[in-house]
Structure 1
């Protein structure tokens, strides 16, 4: 992330020289603008300005500028991470991808993530458990779809398997969730030709990631009698390509 505007357009560092002015920024009072040799050089948090003892009239060399601006970029990356985490919990990989959108250096992102992980603010296992629980509370779905969604959030495969094994410990769990979807869809399907209703229900269950066994159980149970169960339109023959 290019956080400074130096004289050399090919470098992220401003030119070294004498500090000629330090002004509090109007829009962000917690930050200051530092001028070197009469020109704006870079913005900096007031905290770091005090920490590094930057004063008007002193000379600042390249090495000192580099240290100051690396610390400033790290602070910006850390603040952005906290801002993202304040909205909701993130997996480590998910937060990493979001920080990269702001063009922070990979090494700085890794430092921020390591610090947050060590402090317990990044916990992929807990993120996965919370995500699965909240998803199943509002939207019945099968194990396959949940696995895809967890992978999209950057949860490692071994943690995905652990969490899904916990959530679907009993074989009946997925069938019960599939029946919840049946209950939600039945009003839309009532009155339609039985084989059409059965086809639409099967497709809805597949789209929600339910297993073949769970889909078969719903079609065969059919407590509201929506589906044609004759051999001519049998589930096994018509849906032998279901996953």
Structure 2
């Protein structure tokens, strides 16, 4: 059994503490773990208890990694899981995801709607491209279709495709032959994620 002989605030992070056992540095913990496990000077610790504390500290670090990752922008569940594995916290993935969902940090449907709205509004992506991107991000089909229905109305996708086509035809494709203008514009709209029905309808109107 070891005894905590010193608890010291770390120099570069005043929310982390160095724990000394029997006069020697043993491990560091965050403030939450320190308080949860009552790591006070003079406390006697069983080896199994120390192992429990260290596991709790690793879980806390994994949660911090996830929260920092979520701090930049919204993420899908799969993106967060992949980040945790990348950072070496695979064994804590389930526990961290449970924490994030319980505290409403993750919502795949909300993510899908925001992603679809941004990609349509800012990048001009059509439904097919958005579906494909959301599948890559691990969003299930039901949430994908709900997001698509919320973002697109009956005419918005066609109007967006038409606007993109006109911009290309009046810009970089302006001096091409009629055949090349049709082919290039069709390929461009296809890459953007528009269906052949919409592409054909748009090109009939603008060419």
TM-score of the two chains, using structure 1 as the length reference: 0.76
Does 1:95 find its partner at 2:96?
no
How many pairs are equivalent? 206
Alpha-carbon RMSD: 2.1
* Secondary structure in structure 2 of the residue aligned to 1:189: coil
Instruction: Answer yes or no: is the 8 Å Cα contact 1:145–1:209 preserved in 2.
Output: yes
Query: Is 1:166 equivalent to 2:187 in the alignment?
Result: no
Tell me the CA shift for residue 191 of structure 1: 1.6
**Which structure 2 segments of 5+ residues have no match?**
none
- Residue 196 (structure 2) aligns with: 212
Whole-angstrom CA distance in 2 between matches of 1:54 and 1:120: 30
| Runs ≥4 residues deviating over 4 A | none
Match of 1:75 among 43, 60, 75: 60
- Cα distance per residue 1:33-78 (max 9 Å; x no partner): 2233444321111342244232445432221112211221222222
Q: Which moved more, 1:204-213 or 1:80-89?
A: 80-89
| 1:117 equivalent in structure 2 | 101
Question: Partner residue of 1:175?
Answer: 158
Q: Could you say if the C-alpha distance between residues 101 and 133 of structure 1 is closer, same or farther in structure 2, counting changes exceeding 3 Å?
A: same
Q: Which residue of 2 aligns with 1:11?
A: none
Match of 1:45?
30
Distance 1:47 1:218, change over 3 A: closer
Deviation at 1:140, TM superposition (A): 1.4
Task: Measure the CA separation in 1 of the matches of 2:35 and 2:3.
Answer: 17
Rg (Cα) greater in structure:
1
Q: Tell me which protein shows more helix as a share of its residues.
A: 2
- CA deviations 1:127-181 (Å, max 9, x no partner) are 11111111111121221110111112221122112222333442x3332121021
Q: Decide which of 173, 178, 183 is 1:199's aligned counterpart.
A: 183
Between the aligned partners of 1:134 and 1:146, the Cα distance in structure 2 is 10
> Whole-Å Cα distance in 2 between the matches of residues 193 and 183 of structure 1?
15
Q: State the Cα deviation string for residues 175-217 of structure 1 (Å, max 9, x = none).
A: 2121021122121111211111211111111111110111111
Match for residue 21 of structure 2 among 36, 39, 43: 36
1:120 CA drift (Å): 2.6
Tell me, what secondary structure is at the counterpart of 1:121?
A: coil
Alignment correspondent of 1:62:
47
C-alpha distance 47-215 of structure 1, shift in aligned 2 (>3 A): closer
Distance 1:47 1:166, change over 3 A: closer
Distance 2:113 2:177 in 1: 40
CA shift, 1:102, in A, is 1.8
TM-score (norm 2): 0.88
